[in-house]
Amino acid sequence: MFRPRMLLAPLTALIAVLALASPAAAVTAAEKLAVMSSWSQTSVTSYNAWNSARQNQGAWAAYAFDWSTDYCSSSPDNPLGFDFKLACHRHDFNYRNYKAMGQFSANKARLDSAFYEDLKRKCATYNVVVRPACTSLAWTYYQAVKAFGSVAVSAADIERARQMKESALRAAAN
């Protein structure tokens, strides 16, 4: 025999829970910028926190970060066999997300410095014999983003960057 009173207590509890539950709070711009700031510092701790988040992007879905990358853009991702891909990925992440938040210009110098520190840390993992070539390339990549990594790039800037890159690759090969 069906007894409606037996369903009354669970139904009342369910209605109470649903009434009290609120959707996940939206992430504010200030919260998003705080996370971005913590992931764009020059320290290895900042780099590791960003990389951990990169590997678990779903946990950060509410922040709507742009995780896309073209790695080192038109420069080689692995110049002379040195793997710069992950440093370039973090740099892309920082540029894209700060631009989207309208905070790029105020943070560009730090983003470029973090990129250079990432490259130097990567170079430190290579044999001491080849490390000078890696750090030389790291310096060149840093100088290129410092000079050309902006909102607008002209054809002349691209040509200057190409010439700098070729010059640096020739110097590193010698």
61-116: pLDDT as tens digits: 999 999 999 999 989 999 999 999 999 999 999 999 999 999 999 999 999 999 99
Q: What is the overall mean pLDDT for the chain?
A: 85
Among 91, 108, 122, 165, the active-site one is 91
> CB under 8 Å to 89, separation ≥6 — which residues?
54, 69, 71
Query: Looking at the predicted structure, is the pLDDT value of residue 3 above 80?
Result: no
15-34: pLDDT as tens digits: 443 333 334 568 999 999 99
- Give the residue ranges of DSSP H helices in 42-130: 44-55, 85-100, 104-123
Sorted by where each begins, the domain ranges of the chain are: 24-173
pLDDT tier, 7 (very low <50, low <70, confident <90, very high otherwise)? very low
Q: In this prediction, what percent of the chain has a pLDDT beyond 70?
A: 79
**89 is an active site residue:** no
b (16+ CB within 10 A) / e for 75-89 = bbbebeebebebbbb
Q: In this prediction, what percent of the chain has a pLDDT beyond 90?
A: 70
Q: Tokens in use for 127?
A: 């044999």
Q: Which CATH code for domain 24-173? A: 1.20.90.10
